Amino acid sequence: MTDAPAVVPPRSRWAWNPFRLARRLPDAGFAYFLLLPAFIFLALFTVKPLIGSLISSTQKRNGDGFTLGNYERLATDEVFLRALGNNLLFSLITVPVSLGLAMLLAVLLHQNVRGRGFLRAGVFAPAILPMVAVAVIWMYFYQPNIGVINSILGAIGLPTPDWLGDPSLVLPSLMVMMIWKEAGFFMLFYLAGLQGIDPELEEASRLEGTGKFRHFWKVSFPLLMPTTLFAAIVALSDSIKMVDFVFVMTQGGPDNASNLLLFYIYKVAFAQHWPQFAAAISLVVVAVLVALALIQIKLMDRKIHYR
Q: What is the C-alpha to C-alpha distance for residues 66 and 43, in angstroms, rounded to an integer? A: 25
154 binds other proteins (CB under 8 A): no
Q: What is the C-alpha to C-alpha distance for residues 186 and 192, in angstroms, rounded to an integer? A: 10
Q: List beta partners, residue 59.
A: 66
Window contacting other proteins (CB under 8 A); options: 84-92, 156-164, 208-216, 222-230: 156-164
Q: What is the C-alpha to C-alpha distance for residues 102 and 182, in angstroms, rounded to an integer? A: 8
Q: How many other C-beta atoms are found inside a 10 Å radius of the C-beta of residue 31?
A: 11
Site mask for other proteins (CB under 8 A), range 78-107, x = bound: -x----------------------------
Window contacting other proteins (CB under 8 A); options: 95-103, 128-136, 213-221, 245-253: 245-253
Q: List beta partners, residue 66.
A: 59
Decide: helix, strand or coil at residue 262. helix
Task: Return the residue of 10, 11, 27, 130 that touches other proteins, per CB under 8 A.
Answer: 27
137 binds other proteins (CB under 8 A): no
The phi-psi region of residue 255 (left if phi > 0; otherwise alpha if psi is between -120 and 50; otherwise beta) is left
296 binds other proteins (CB under 8 A): no
Angle at Cα 205 formed by Cα 199 and Cα 209, nearest 5°? 145
Task: Return the residue of 49, 122, 154, 167 that touches other proteins, per CB under 8 A.
Answer: 167
Decide: helix, strand or coil at residue 306. coil
Q: What is the C-alpha to C-alpha distance for residues 295 and 299, in angstroms, rounded to an integer? A: 6
Amino acid residing at 204: A
Q: How far apart are the first and last CA of the chain?
A: 49
Task: Return the residue of 32, 47, 272, 295 that touches other proteins, per CB under 8 A.
Answer: 272
CB of 223 to other proteins, least distance (A): 35
Task: Return the residue of 88, 162, 215, 234 that touches other proteins, per CB under 8 A.
Answer: 162
Amino acid residing at 103: M
CB of 54 to other proteins, least distance (A): 18
Window contacting other proteins (CB under 8 A); options: 5-13, 108-116, 213-221, 238-246: 5-13
226 binds other proteins (CB under 8 A): no
Window contacting other proteins (CB under 8 A); options: 89-97, 177-185, 211-219, 254-262: 254-262
Task: Return the residue of 72, 198, 203, 255 that touches other proteins, per CB under 8 A.
Answer: 255
Task: Return the residue of 58, 71, 166, 230 that touches other proteins, per CB under 8 A.
Answer: 166
Q: What is the C-alpha to C-alpha distance for residues 17 and 4, in angstroms, rounded to an integer? A: 13
Task: Return the residue of 71, 88, 137, 144 that touches other proteins, per CB under 8 A.
Answer: 144
5 binds other proteins (CB under 8 A): yes
Window contacting other proteins (CB under 8 A); options: 40-48, 51-59, 126-134, 165-173: 165-173
9 binds other proteins (CB under 8 A): no
Residues 127 and 188 sit within 8 Å (Cβ to Cβ): yes
Taking alpha carbons only, the member of 285, 297, 178 closest to residue 232 is 297
Residues 174 and 94 sit within 8 Å (Cβ to Cβ): no
Binders of other proteins: how many residues, by CB under 8 A?
A: 35
207 binds other proteins (CB under 8 A): no
Residues 178 and 127 sit within 8 Å (Cβ to Cβ): no
Binding site for other proteins (CB under 8 A): 1-2, 4-7, 19, 22-23, 27, 30, 34, 61, 79, 143-146, 161-162, 164-167, 251-256, 267, 270-273
